[in-house]
Amino acid sequence: MDWVNAIVQGVLIGGLYALFAAGLSLIFGVMRLVNIAHGDMIVAAAYLALVIVQATGLHPLASALLVVPLMALIGYAMQRVLLNPTIGKDLLSPLLVTFGISVILQNGLLVAFTADSRRLAAGSIETASIQLAPGLSLGVLPLLMFAASVLIIFGMELVFFRTSLGRAFRATSDDPEVAQLMNLNRNHVFGMAMALSAAVVAIAGIFLAIRTNFDPASGPARLIFGFEAVIIGGLGNLWGTLAGGVVLGVAQAVGAQISPGWQILAGHLVFFLVLGLRPRGLFPRMD
Amino acid sequence: MAEPILSIASLKAGYGDFQALFGIDLEVGPGETLALIGANGAGKTTLLRAITGLVGCAPAMVRLDGRPIGGMRPDRIAALGVAMVPEGRRLFRSLSVEENLLIGGERARRGDWTLERVYDLFPILRERRRNPATALSGGQQQMVAIGRALMANPRLILFDEISLGLAPVVIRDIYAAVPAIMASGVSAILVEQDVTRALAVARKFVCLQEGRVSLAGRPGEHDRQAITAAYFGLAR
Ligand SMILES: Nc1ncnc2c1ncn2[C@@H]1O[C@H](COP(=O)(O)OP(=O)(O)OP(=O)(O)O)[C@@H](O)[C@H]1O
Ligand SMILES: [Mg+2]
């Protein structure tokens, strides 16, 4: 039963990894940019939630009502002010800017919140669980988070394939030059992509803060998990990204079951295995 | 003559250190079609890119209704009613046929061109509207590219080699749609390698050679030999 339990827990944490990954994948898809600051944005969102919860007494999950729009706004501004001026000339400059944002975020959070690790308490829901079988029970909170992750990915797919904003994303990704001739302001389209990515980051940050301890240096590891989930799942396919997150989560859970030291390593090994056997990921969609 | 919609004066443009256009002058009036001809590398596409803002130039070098638009952001110029059918079609490959048309009409000016009218003009596109744009034949793709430009309800439409790489029967089909497009009152610049075809639909023409106007006028005004000479730069 331990193994079944481990795999189930892995699946559930995989939903969170998929959330880490979804915003990353969106930004790469629309502007061919790997946002190195993505993990740090997740951690920054976690701190933002912490501050809001402390200031207002809201439940951590309810804090999303403020954290999501705030992060979207910050994402939009960050794209327009910092990233857009460097995009389009070469691939390296915007990459370096995101690297700079990453360093600034980490150090800024360190100054503001010290290196102590924090956590958001979600109250009684944290311990609630459903008994599936003797010895196998599911936490209500992880289950809720997994369901939310699936819903968010479904929502992102809807935006991407069913709305005029999504059409603008795809057209700009296909041919940024001709997209401008369609009356699309490239700077705004990129800003909206970063806003959407940051909105998803906000949810990911809140979930992260409830599930685990976090500190100002937690970002890079989230970036790696998100990155691995994207690559395992296959570029340009959000459902693939969800599958990638689940594969990574299960690999880590099974690794931890073998020996605690194997948890993270097992995830990386599966990532390299997929990269070696199917370099384009399990479900590639993008050329 | 009525005020020109588009007037280009001493237009110089290029790519970085490379200058491709050396002082171009031309005008396009309301409802008028201008044929732009010239050999490979003469600068035809560069001229269209300068009009649409994809290549920079000084403001006064390109005027729309007398208003300087040279070097303006491409989406702003598009919003003023300039649409382009780009060389090589350049459809959005992750969009369906219908989505390619819809995105052309995004935030469009008001006017007669709708999805329905484009489908009436090119009925085959209605049948294939759910297909990915790139799954179509070359001629059908060209129809999508033309429809995409029309959806913006442009005042000025720029066609860049719409017959490129297509079979003669297909070219005939595409050109059969040109009168219907012009009947809506839109002005046009038609870039063509096929001089005869271009001169047949245009009221006036400009011939470029190595970034300069080598001949301009009305199709009947010059004999075949003069046009050939201007085109290839022979016997000057
Ligand atoms: N992106 C670019 N960068 C640098 N030089 C360019 C670029 N595009 C075109 N050129 C050069 O500018 C000149 C004019 O090219 P342009 O594409 O405008 O010619 P064209 O008349 O459209 O030719 P074609 O009939 O082959 O389409 C050519 O010498 C070409 O090599
Ligand atoms: Mg050309």
Question: For residue A3, what pLDDT is reported?
Answer: 87
Question: For residue A216, what pLDDT is reported?
Answer: 97
Ligand 1 is surrounded, with C-beta below 6 A, by B 15, 18, 20, 38, 40-46, 87
Query: pLDDT tens-digit profile of A222-260?
Result: 999 999 999 999 887 889 999 999 999 999 999 999 998
Q: Does residue A286 form part of some domain?
A: no
Residue A185 pLDDT greater than 90, yes or no: yes
Q: Which domain holds residue A164?
A: 2-114+136-277
Mapped onto helix, strand or coil, the DSSP state of residue A4 is helix
> pLDDT confidence of B234, banded at 50, 70, 90?
low
Helix residue spans in B30-177 (DSSP H): 44-52, 74-79, 97-104, 115-121, 123-127, 138-150, 168-176
Residue B1 pLDDT greater than 60, yes or no: no
The answer to whether A235 contacts chain B (CB < 8 Å) is no
Residue of minimum CA distance from atom 4 in ligand 1 = B15
For residue B172, CA distances in Å to B137, B141, B146, B204 come to 15, 15, 15, 21
Residue of minimum CA distance from atom 30 in ligand 1 = B41
The CATH number given to whatever domain includes residue A28 is 1.10.3470
Q: Does residue A119 form part of some domain?
A: no
Domain locations in chain B as residue ranges:
32-59+71-232
Contacts of A184 in chain B (CB under 8 A): 75, 103, 106
Question: For residue B37, what pLDDT is reported?
Answer: 93
Helix residue spans in A163-237 (DSSP H): 164-174, 176-181, 186-211, 219-233
CA of B18 to the centre of ligand 1 (A): 10
| Total count of domains within chain A | 1
Buried b / exposed e along A168-183 (16+ C-beta atoms within 10 A): bbbbbbbbbebbbbbb
Tokens 């209605």 identify what position?
B126
DSSP code of residue A83 = I
| Residue A182 to chain B, least CA–CA distance (Å) | 5
CA of A101 to the centre of ligand 2 (A): 41
Atom from ligand 1 closest to the CA of residue B87: 27
DSSP code of residue A163 = S
Q: In this predicted complex, what is the ipTM? A: 0.91
Residue B235 pLDDT greater than 70, yes or no: no
For residue A198, CA distances in Å to A3, A78, B34, B195, B196 come to 35, 10, 48, 53, 55
CB contact under 8 A, B78 and A180: yes
Q: Structure pTM?
A: 0.92
Q: Does residue A256 form part of some domain?
A: yes
- Mean pLDDT across the stretch B52-58? 96
| A237: Cβ contacts below 8 Å, ≥ 6 apart | A281, A283, A284, A285, A286
In total, chain B counts a number of residues equal to 236
CB contact under 8 A, A182 and B103: yes
Atom from ligand 1 closest to the CA of residue B208: 21
Q: Does residue A96 form part of some domain?
A: yes
> What's the CATH class of domain B32-59+71-232?
alpha beta
Interface subset of A 157-186, CB within 8 angstroms of B: 164, 167-168, 170-171, 173-175, 177-186
Q: Does residue A131 form part of some domain?
A: no
CA of B54 to the centre of ligand 2 (A): 14
Percent of the residues in chain A that have a pLDDT greater than 90, as a whole number = 82
Q: Does residue A39 form part of some domain?
A: yes
Q: Report d(CA B34, CA B216) in Å as an integer.
A: 10
